[in-house]
Amino acid sequence: MNFYTIFTTVVGILPSLVTAISTLETAFPQDDATAHKLETLKTIIQASHDAADKVTVPFEQLWTTLVPIISIVTALHQVVSSGSTKST
């Protein structure tokens, strides 16, 4: 699988991924639910991938690529969320 295919796939789903992470973080803000939220997100992505008529990146390769991205987007969401609730 070439870089461009993986990159464009990830960039293409990034807005939806950010929305999904934000939704999970808002619905389940508990820090101790991190593993469950990651597993939920994996299930959502895998079910969508499996239901697709055409895929360009195998799921396991996509998931391996997405895990560090999910981690950084989740951390960014938590920083932004905690900053938006602080009064100045």
Is residue 28 in a domain? no
Residue-wise pLDDT for 35-68, tens only, equals 999 999 999 999 999 999 999 999 999 999 999 9
Residue with tokens 């803000």, as numbered in its chain: 29
Please tell me the total count of domains within the chain: 1
- Which domain covers residue 13, as residue numbers? 1-23+59-78
In a domain, 45, yes or no: no
- Whether residue 44 lies inside any domain: the answer is no
Cα–Cα dist 35/81, whole Å: 20
* Residue 53 covered by a domain: no
CA 11 to centroid of chain Cα atoms: 12
Sequence-ordered list of residues with C-beta below 8 angstroms from that of 17, at least 6 positions apart, any chain: 45, 66, 69, 70, 73
Structural domain contains residue 12: yes
pLDDT in tens, 26-38: 898 888 888 999 9
Residue 88 binned pLDDT confidence (cut-offs 50, 70, 90):
very low
Residue 18 lies in a domain: yes
- The answer to whether position 74 is within a domain reads yes
